[in-house]
Every structure is written in structure tokens, then in C-alpha cells.
């Protein structure tokens, strides 16, 4: 680090002055001034990282503690990709005296896995870009100067593990009581992505219509407390404290998915005082199956799908379409199924009288029968949507599916593996839940096992000073003055040596 400080004093300051002089001569070239400063600061940062790593490695070489269990095997130059750029530095390979195992001890202290060449900050940048665009762009944005291959990004995404929503709330649960609200809302819908293969490449089968069996259902569920205006005078609305969940699970795993959602609700809210829990959805089979996992839930058909199927029933009515649609809504709102069927029969008769093309007639009748069956199978849910019962709010599932899942997974021609689609979907909702990508990267870390011969507890320099102060009583207060008299190099060694004790 001393070399970096000298470099800054001898080289950087002079370059900064020259850049400023050029800017004063030609003020219109501010871009060149900013870019020049950025480049110099960038190079200085990489140089400082390199020297810090090599200083640590040298302390390991000189450490008497290390000598008890490890011997030097070789010295090598390695590269490490950081978000600032690629750093090349000298690193030492050590061999354990008892096990014969070889290891870069500096990697152990830095928390890097074996053969890991990307730092946590760079991985976080990778995830931030990947969730927005693509594996390729994620690799390009990992570091300012260096790129990571698309395949490497894919491997990282496939290996991701995500914390359950309940784990994020455990600390919060201890600190405060459950939230009290009158109404809770669950909204559910799905996106349809395309698979590259089912289990292995080449196993996709084409149907009679020449369509491949490669459709993948990606589920989105979110829980919220209602809606409110974004700002006092704004017409735009927003959800109140939403939390999102995603899954591509098969039917046998659907129970687990809904159990996680219920666990979140039960942990976050006092369900004894909640008047109603509404679920807004299109009534898909996986959603209805999930409704049985949560007691006392009330299904409300989302407005988009209700209007979609009313349109299918009335689209052939031309100028009368608006009036007929209005009457159909009135019947759904206040009448019974038999009244709805009477109107649907009349609409079918009109189509039969009007149609001259038998193929179009058959297609039209099929469309109307499907629409009729859909509304009848969701009769009470459709009635509640139109009655606007207390606590019911408008559904926003279509917009959320488009914004959270479709933009990344299906709006462009993309092919997915099941693992890739599952993890990208979960990454999308993790980001939507304001999850910290750096924390997600650190969540992947597993505790490294201690090596044979490691008989010492890892203590930081602060903990050592505190221990000495407590042990010596009044005399311990003098230990506080020690840190003020240490040189910069001595301090660095004191801090770093506390890490060596754990090797």
C-alpha cells in the first residue's frame, strides 16, 4: 500500500494537475477531463487492491503461526476479477504438514472457494444485470474491464440457492408484533416461457398442429395489503407492502409453494383480526389447488379475464355488443346461473342464424362454449368482482406478470432449461422484493471446514484488546493506547494475523 501512496504522490497528482490545466484551456472538453480522471482513479484502485493482496500473502509467508501446520509449496501469479477490473497478483500455494493437502491460504482467508476467480462484488454486479437482460450482458457487466463468459454466468445462475421468505423475517418477528390489517390480498397468475428441452436435448415432440411440447408455466404470486395513491395528488396507484413469490414447480410441488406463501402470511400478519383474505386470479387449476392450503380464503375473478370471456361471448353482436355486455354483467352481478345460460343460448342462436360459413360457425360456437364454461366454473368469483364487495380491490396480475417475468423470460425468443427458468424467475422476484444481490451472493457461502491442526479460535484484533483489558482490570486501559502508537504496517499485521490464527 505504501507503494500505491508513493505512486499517487509522484504520478497521480501530477496527472490530475495536467488534466485540470487542459480543461481550463478548453472548458468545452469536460468529457475528456472526467474520463481522464476516471481512468487514473480506476488504475490507482486496481493497484491498491493488488498491493493489499500481495501484502497479505507476504504476511502468510512470514507468519510463525502458519509455519506450525503449513509449508510453502510454490509461488504463482493469479488473476481475480473484481467489479473494478481484473487484478493480477502473486499468491503462494501451501501444503498441510499432516494431511498433505495443498491450498492457497489467502483464498481461505478471503472466503474464496477453490478455483473461484470472481469476487463477491463482481458476482453481485453480474446478478443485477442478468435479472434485467441476459446471461451475455450479465457477463459483460460483471467487471468494468473484464468479461465473464455466458456459460460461466449460466453456471452461476443454475447454482443459486434462495432464502425462503420466512428466514428474512425471523429477526423482525422477534423485534415486533405481527402486523394488524383488515384485509389481505393475494394475486396469482402465470407466464409461459419456452423450454429448450424437457429432460435432455432433442426430446421435444411436435403435435398435430406442428407445435412443440415446450411450454413452461412460470407462476407468480404476490401478497399485499391493498392499494393507495403513489402521491397525494397522483392518479397512479401502488400496492401496499407487496411481497412476491415465483415458481415453475410441478403439480406435486405446488403444495410446497403455497405452504411457503402461507408461512409468510402467518408470520407477518395477525390472521385472527383479518376480516377477509381475498385471492385475485383467473382461477387456474394450480391456483385453486393452492387456495385449499389457506383456510378462509375468498376467490375473486380478476377483471381482465372476466372481460376477456364476456367479449368472447358477445364479439359477434356488432353494434349491440356494448349493450349485451352490460346486460351480461348485470346478470352475473345480481341473477343466477340459469339466467346467464338463457342469455348465452340466445347469443348462440343469433350466431347460428347469422353465420353462413360452417367452419366459422363451428369455431364461433366452440369459442362461446368455452367462455360460458369458464364463467360458470368461476361464478361466485365473477359475481364478487362485479359487486365490488367491501375490501375488494382491482387486480393487477397481468401488468405484474408482464413487468416481473415476461420482460425477462418470454417477451423475446428465448429457450430455457427448467433449472435456468426457475432460478431466473426467483431472481426476478428477489430483486422485486428489494433483495440485496451482495447478500444473495454471500448466502451461497458455506462454512469452510477447519483443517486438521487448527486448534485456535479466530479472534479479531479488537476482541484481543478487549480480552486483555478485562483480564488485567485497571491495567487493561493502557491497551487502548497501544493502537494509537502502532505504525500503519504494524496495524495491518495485527489485523491480518488474527485471521491467520484460524488456519
Q: What does the buried/exposed string (b/e) look like for 61-96 if buried means 16 or more CB atoms within 10 Å of the residue's CB?
A: eebeebeebbeeeeeeebebbbbbbbbebebbbbeb
Closest to 443 in 3D by CA, of 430, 429, 432, 457: 430
Cell numbers describing residue 413: 425468443
Label the pairing between strands 276-281 and 183-194: parallel
pTM for this structure?
A: 0.81
pLDDT reported for residue 451 = 42
Helix or strand holding residue 387 (H, E): helix 379-387
* 99 vs 93: CA distance, rounded Å: 15
pLDDT reported for residue 251 = 60
State the Cα torsion 114-116-120-126 to the nearest 10°: -150
Burial (CB count within 10 angstroms: exposed 0-12, middle 13-18, buried 19+), residue 369? middle
* 389 vs 160: CA distance, rounded Å: 42
Question: In angstroms, what CA-CA distances link 74 with 92, 104, 355?
Answer: 6, 10, 86
pLDDT reported for residue 168 = 54
Closest to 432 in 3D by CA, of 461, 408, 459: 408
pLDDT reported for residue 73 = 95
* 175 vs 165: CA distance, rounded Å: 17
* Residue with cell string 407487496: 242
* 303 vs 265: CA distance, rounded Å: 24
* 454 vs 501: CA distance, rounded Å: 8
pLDDT reported for residue 460 = 43
Cell numbers describing residue 55: 501484502
Based on C-alpha coordinates, what's the Rg of the chain? 32
Cell numbers describing residue 148: 465473464
Helix or strand holding residue 191 (H, E): strand 183-194
pLDDT reported for residue 493 = 67
Question: In angstroms, what CA-CA distances link 210 with 138, 196, 206, 214?
Answer: 34, 16, 5, 12
Closest to 332 in 3D by CA, of 357, 367, 307, 359: 307
Q: Is 384 within 8 Å of 394 (Cβ atoms)?
A: no
Q: What string of pLDDT tens digits covers the 503 residues of the chain?
A: 557 777 787 788 889 999 999 999 999 999 999 999 999 999 999 999 999 999 999 999 999 888 999 999 999 999 999 999 999 999 999 999 999 999 999 998 898 888 889 999 999 999 999 999 899 999 999 988 788 999 999 999 999 999 887 655 555 554 568 899 999 999 999 999 999 888 788 788 877 677 777 888 999 999 999 999 988 888 889 999 999 999 987 666 888 899 999 999 999 999 999 999 999 999 999 999 888 877 789 999 999 999 999 999 999 998 899 999 999 999 999 999 999 999 999 999 999 988 888 888 999 999 999 999 999 999 999 999 999 888 898 888 989 999 999 999 988 878 899 999 999 999 999 999 999 999 999 998 854 444 433 433 333 444 444 544 554 454 444 444 444 445 666 666 666 666 776 66
Amino acid at each position: 500500500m505504501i507503494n500505491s501512496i508513493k505512486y499517487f504522490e509522484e504520478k497521480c497528482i501530477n496527472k490530475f494537475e495536467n488534466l485540470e490545466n487542459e480543461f481550463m484551456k478548453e472548458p468545452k472538453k469536460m468529457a475528456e477531463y472526467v474520463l481522464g480522471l476516471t481512468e487514473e482513479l480506476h488504475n490507482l484502485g486496481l493497484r491498491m487492491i493488488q498491493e493489499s493482496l500481495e501484502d497479505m500473502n507476504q504476511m502468510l509467508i512470514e507468519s510463525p503461526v502458519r509455519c506450525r501446520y503449513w509449508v510453502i509449496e510454490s509461488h504463482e501469479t493469479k488473476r481475480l476479477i473484481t467489479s473494478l477490473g481484473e487484478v493480477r497478483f502473486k499468491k503462494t500455494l501451501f501444503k498441510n504438514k499432516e494431511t498433505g493437502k495443498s491450498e492457497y491460504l489467502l483464498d481461505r482467508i478471503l472466503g474464496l472457494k477453490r478455483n473461484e476467480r470472481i469476487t463477491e462484488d463482481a458476482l453481485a454486479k453480474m446478478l443485477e444485470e442478468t435479472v434485467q437482460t441476459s446471461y451475455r450482458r450479465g457477463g459483460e457487466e460483471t467487471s468494468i474491464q473484464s468479461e465473464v463468459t455466458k456459460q460461466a454466468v449460466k453456471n452461476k445462475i443454475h447454482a443459486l440457492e434462495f432464502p425462503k421468505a420466512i428466514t428474512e423475517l425471523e429477526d423482525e418477528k422477534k423485534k415486533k408484533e405481527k402486523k394488524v390489517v383488515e384485509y389481505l390480498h393475494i394475486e396469482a397468475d402465470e407466464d409461459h416461457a419456452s423450454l429448450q428441452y424437457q429432460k435432455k436435448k432433442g426430446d421435444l415432440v411436435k403435435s398435430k398442429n406442428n407445435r412443440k411440447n415446450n411450454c413452461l408455466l412460470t407462476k407468480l404470486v404476490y401478497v399485499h395489503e391493498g392499494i393507495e395513491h403513489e402521491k397525494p395528488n397522483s392518479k397512479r396507484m401502488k400496492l401496499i407492502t407487496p411481497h412476491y413469490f415465483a415458481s415453475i414447480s410441478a403439480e406435486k410441488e405446488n403444495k410446497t409453494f403455497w405452504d411457503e406463501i402461507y408461512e409468510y402470511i402467518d408470520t407477518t400478519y395477525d390472521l385472527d383480526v383479518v376480516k377477509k383474505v381475498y385471492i385475485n386470479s383467473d382461477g387456474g387449476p394450480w391456483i385453486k389447488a393452492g387456495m385449499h392450503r389457506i383456510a378462509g380464503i375468498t376467490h375473486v375473478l380478476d377483471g381482465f379475464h372476466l372481460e376477456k370471456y364476456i367479449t368472447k361471448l358477445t364479439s359477434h353482436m356488432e353494434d349491440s355488443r356494448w349493450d349485451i355486455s352490460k346486460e351480461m354483467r348485470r346478470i352475473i352481478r345480481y341473477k343466477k346461473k340459469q339466467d346467464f345460460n338463457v342469455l348465452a343460448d340466445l347469443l348462440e342462436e343469433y350466431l347460428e342464424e347469422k353465420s353462413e360459413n360452417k367452419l366459422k360457425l363451428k369455431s364461433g360456437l366452440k369459442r362461446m362454449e368455452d367462455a360460458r364454461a369458464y364463467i360458470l366454473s368461476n361464478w361466485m368469483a365473477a359475481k364478487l368482482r362485479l359487486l365490488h364487495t367491501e375490501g375488494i380491490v382491482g387486480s393487477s396480475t397481468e401488468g405484474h406478470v408482464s413487468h416481473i417475468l415476461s420482460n425477462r423470460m418470454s417477451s423475446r425468443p428465448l429457450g430455457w432449461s427448467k433449472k435456468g427458468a426457475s432460478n431466473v424467475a426467483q431472481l426476478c422476484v428477489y430483486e422485486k422484493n428489494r433483495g440485496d444481490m451482495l447478500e444473495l451472493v454471500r448466502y451461497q457461502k458455506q462454512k469452510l471446514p477447519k483443517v486438521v491442526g487448527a486448534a485456535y479460535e479466530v479472534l479479531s484484533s479488537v476482541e484481543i484488546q478487549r480480552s486483555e483489558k478485562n483480564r488485567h482490570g485497571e491495567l487493561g486501559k493502557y491497551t487502548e493506547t497501544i493502537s494509537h502508537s502502532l505504525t500503519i504496517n504494524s496495524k495491518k499485521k495485527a489485523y491480518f494475523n488474527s485471521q491467520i490464527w484460524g488456519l
